[in-house]
Structure 1
Amino acid sequence: MAGIPSTAGQDIPLERAPRFRRRGLMIAAAAALLALLVWAALRAGGGQRVAAAESLRLATVSRGEFIADVSAQGRVVAAVSPTLYAPAVGTINLKVNAGDRVEQGQLLAELDSPEIQNQYAQEEANLAGLRASFQRERLEVETRRLQNQQAVDLAKVAEEGAERERKRAQEAYGMGVLPIMEVDRRADELINAQLRHRHAQEEVRLQGKSLDLQLRGRALELERQQLVVDNMRRRAEELRIVAPVNGVIGTLSVLQRAAVAANQALMTVVDLSALEVEIQVPETYADSLGLEMPAEVRLGSQTFPARLTAISPEVANNQVTGRVAFTGGKPPELRQNQRVSVRIVLDQRQDVLRLPRGPFIEAGGGRYVYVVRDGVAVRTPVTLGAISINQVEIVSGVEAGEQVVISGDQAFEGAETVSIRN
């Protein structure tokens, strides 16, 4: 019976591995073991993660001036752009076109209004009639005054004649020429003349008051009619529509020779010398905004001082509308509807702990930061204050001089400590 064949013929003797190759394998194994031990030591020491230093941005906590501000995009608008309206019903005759440059006082349009023009002519005729009536009334009053004064003078002359007659009668009685009865009669005539003189004077005084009131009434009627004529003249002059400011015709709301109604919009005049910036600010800053706050308008590489002049009380699309006016003169190259950047200073304080603004605010939710101590970033609770465009106020949690990771800590994923590898 044949035996089972052996596999001896399939075996091939190998040469013994060189000593240096075995040594290399041992070194590689030792290095891997060492890296494992280092990693284990870091985990045992609390370093849960390792981050490269070049992937982080560090900043030093400093103490100094803190400026709380907000940045917004704005659009240049005309601060003065009056709209002109038709003063009455009529037919419009335009003298300018949209886009024309105009000067203050320049004729822009004329309104043909027969109603206003006819009424003006009628009131002027009424004024002329009242003026003639007033002149006639004044002549009559002067005549009445003269007649009354004549009556007073005649009564005075009669009184003086009676006085002389009484004196002559007394002299004649003393000489025995006239009886006493004749002297008494002359005395009674003197008394009657004196009474007529006094009554004439009193009548002249009362009639003078009556004539004054009569003339004053006529004067008031004339004055009232004069006011009516002045008002109609003003309305007639308003039919000539002139430019209220130097500027440009913005829009024409009516066509040439169109019939317009009273108070209908005709056109707008844009004053290009009075430009402001309309901004949209997030409603989160609405409570911090205040009138007359300092601001800066950036136009290209230049900044111009300005101030906040208006804040809308309404919130639309989570935005608050405001107006910013230039304080140091309008930039010469500024034009309407131009887009600019605006920075509004909300607050300015001294001796404040601060850090440059960075993504760490959103990464930590403003509740903690990573402070670097001896190559290890340690998660540290902090309290943040005001946040500006470039800076963040630190209320508590860190001290001046400490280094904080302000960018690149998103990969830390909230670890308590992170080793920083150079």
Structure 2
Amino acid sequence: MSMEQERIVNIENVGPSSSKKKRFGRIITLAVIAAIGAGVFLFFKFQESAETVSIKSYETAKVYAGELISTTEASGTVVLPAQVTIVSPEDGYTDELLTEEGAIITTEDILATLEVPDLEDELDTLTVSLKQAEIELESIITGYEYQIKTLNLSIERLAEDIKDAEEDVAAYKELAELKSSRETDYEDAVDVLEELLEEKEDYEISLEEAKVMMNIDIRKQEASISQIETNLEITKEDIEDSRIKSPIAGEVLSINEDLAIEGSVIEEADELFIVADRAQSYIDFDVYEQYADLLEIGGEMTVTIGSDTMKAEIVKIGKIASMDSDGLSAMITVRAKPITEETLTPGASAVASITLGVEENVLMIPRGAYLTTGSQKWVYKVEDGKAYKTQVTYGSIEGTTVEILSGLKAGDKIITSSYQSFIDEELVVLK
């Protein structure tokens, strides 16, 4: 009995040999799997570390919200609307030049004098003709005055004779009625009276005619005098015009070189001077018609002429569009005037940046090489010592500013230098 119990106890404490082998195999398998996993992890860890690009030299900028000023570029030319070309009024000869290029003149200044012999001769002739016409007028008036005076005197004398003849007729009539005189004496007295009355009537008609003719002849002569005086004034004005003046105040831009040589032949309509008022200098620009609705009088622009840069404002916007030189785009003319006093050279070329509008609270970043190397859609956003490739949408590019429409927010930092060496990387490490 005791031997049987001991056997049972031994059986409980001892397992089958096959179970121990299985347990050991599982342990070995788990160890191998763990080793392989660790190896794979370390492989990819070291592989990633080996392939990640690091950069040391780069530039960054933060995205910020601000005011975006939209502009357009335009080219133009300096013009002087208040500019005149002074020409010779007559054929003549140079007498004296009294100014020089660059001189500031007024409308009263004499710039040069011309000698015009024909005008001088005409002035002398008209002066003599006027004197003769005035003497002739005096002669006409005097002649008619004496003629009228003589007629009046004759009429007065006839009136006295008529009075005597009327008395004779009355006396002979009374005597004839008394049979104290012949009838023929009375008839003769009546005939004498009638002749005197007819003669007086003739004188009165002559007097009336003389007065009418006097008035006509005086007016005719006065008209002749007036015509001579008019011609004389015109000639004097022409002579005065040979004393060359400018119709506007301003600066003498150019002078006909013949004016510097006394006696040089000057023909009518020859250009003598060009004078311009530089205070009224403008710049005319050609702007694409599509921007017409965005322009307004008083709008500002930045103008560059040569090495000079200045502010100007729009003073006139053209209403009629014309095609540009390539015939593809419609243009309008925009006239601008410098805000500050500037000395502009007529015909000088100008370039302007014209303000079209202002937008508030726009996301922006500075312009940089990343625009080109980022293919206009990628940036590298900086976070915790690394830069992550991020897709963005750009808006307007104005000068040195780029508008961000999507992909970034205010405060984000991006690399703004060239991406050329790492554009294919999703991640770069910053050192």
With the length of structure 2 as denominator, give the TM-score of the two structures.
0.58
Shift of 1:134: 2.4
Corresponding letter in the other structure for 1:242? K
Distance, in Å, in 2 between the alignment partners of 1:203 and 1:341 is 88
Q: How many residues align?
A: 331
**What residue number does 1:19 align with?**
34
SS at match of 1:99: coil
Unaligned runs of 5+ in 1: 1-15, 30-53, 60-67, 349-354, 357-376, 380-386, 391-402, 408-422
Distance, in Å, in 2 between the alignment partners of 1:153 and 1:69 is 102
- Output aligned runs, 1:238-253, within 5 Å: 238-253=241-256
Shift of 1:285: 1.4
Distance, in Å, in 1 between the alignment partners of 2:134 and 2:151 is 26
Corresponding letter in the other structure for 2:126? E
Rate the CA distance shift 1:295–1:178 in 2: closer, same or farther, 3 A: farther
Mapped pair 1:324 → 2:335: yes
Q: Deviations for 1:262-284, whole angstroms, at most 9, x for unmatched residues?
A: 111111112123x24232324x5
SS at match of 2:90: coil
Distance, in Å, in 1 between the alignment partners of 2:92 and 2:407 is 70
Shift of 1:106: 0.6
Rate the CA distance shift 1:72–1:173 in 2: closer, same or farther, 3 A: farther
Rate the CA distance shift 1:99–1:229 in 2: closer, same or farther, 3 A: same
**What residue number does 2:240 align with?**
237
**What residue number does 1:155 align with?**
158
* 1:296/1:305 contact within 8 Å kept: yes
Shift of 1:117: 1.6
Q: Which of the residues 270, 281, 285 maps onto 2:286?
A: 281
SS at match of 1:226: helix
Shift of 1:22: 0.9
Rate the CA distance shift 1:276–1:320 in 2: closer, same or farther, 3 A: farther
Distance, in Å, in 1 between the alignment partners of 2:125 and 2:407 is 83
Q: Deviations for 1:320-355, whole angstroms, at most 9, x for unmatched residues?
A: 5746265xx963345345776768899x9xxxxxx9
Shift of 1:141: 2.3
Q: Deviations for 1:124-152, whole angstroms, at most 9, x for unmatched residues?
A: 22222222222222222222222233333
Question: What RMSD over aligned residues (CA atoms) do the two structures have, in Å?
Answer: 5.4
Mapped pair 1:114 → 2:123: no
Rate the CA distance shift 1:22–1:305 in 2: closer, same or farther, 3 A: closer
- Output aligned runs, 1:223-234, within 5 Å: 223-234=226-237
Mapped pair 1:307 → 2:309: no
- Output aligned runs, 1:7-406, within 5 Å: 19=34, 22-23=37-38, 25=40, 72-92=74-94, 93-170=96-173, 178=181, 181-255=184-258, 256=260, 257=262, 258-273=264-279, 275-282=280-287, 284-285=288-289, 295-296=299-300, 298=302, 306-308=314-316, 315=323, 317-318=325-326, 322=333, 324=335, 331-333=340-342, 335-337=344-346
Sequence identity, in percent? 12
* 1:91/1:111 contact within 8 Å kept: yes
Corresponding letter in the other structure for 1:331? T
Rate the CA distance shift 1:21–1:153 in 2: closer, same or farther, 3 A: farther
Distance, in Å, in 2 between the alignment partners of 1:117 and 1:331 is 49
Rate the CA distance shift 1:221–1:162 in 2: closer, same or farther, 3 A: same
SS at match of 2:257: coil
Distance, in Å, in 1 between the alignment partners of 2:134 and 2:171 is 56
Corresponding letter in the other structure for 1:266? L
* 2:286/2:334 contact within 8 Å kept: no
SS at match of 2:86: strand
Shift of 1:111: 0.7
* 2:93/2:116 contact within 8 Å kept: yes
Rate the CA distance shift 1:261–1:287 in 2: closer, same or farther, 3 A: farther
Corresponding letter in the other structure for 1:277? Y
Distance, in Å, in 2 between the alignment partners of 1:323 and 1:186 is 104
Unaligned runs of 5+ in 2: 1-30, 45-59, 364-390, 409-431
* 1:278/1:322 contact within 8 Å kept: no
SS at match of 1:82: strand
**What residue number does 2:23 align with?**
none
Corresponding letter in the other structure for 2:325? N
Shift of 1:75: 3.8
Corresponding letter in the other structure for 1:263? A
Rate the CA distance shift 1:177–1:114 in 2: closer, same or farther, 3 A: same
SS at match of 1:263: coil
Shift of 1:306: 4.2
Q: Deviations for 1:276-317, whole angstroms, at most 9, x for unmatched residues?
A: 4232324x519969xx96654556998665432767886562
Distance, in Å, in 1 between the alignment partners of 2:352 and 2:166 is 102
Look at both structures and tell me which one has the larger radius of gyration over its CA atoms.
Answer: 2
Distance, in Å, in 2 between the alignment partners of 1:309 and 1:186 is 102
Distance, in Å, in 1 between the alignment partners of 2:197 and 2:86 is 74
* 2:283/2:336 contact within 8 Å kept: no
Q: Deviations for 1:234-283, whole angstroms, at most 9, x for unmatched residues?
A: 1111111123222111011223123221111111112123x24232324x
Distance, in Å, in 2 between the alignment partners of 1:182 and 1:406 is 147
SS at match of 1:245: coil
Q: Deviations for 1:374-406, whole angstroms, at most 9, x for unmatched residues?
A: xxx9x9xxxxxxx9x99xxxxxxxxxxxx9659
Rate the CA distance shift 1:23–1:114 in 2: closer, same or farther, 3 A: same
Shift of 1:227: 1.7
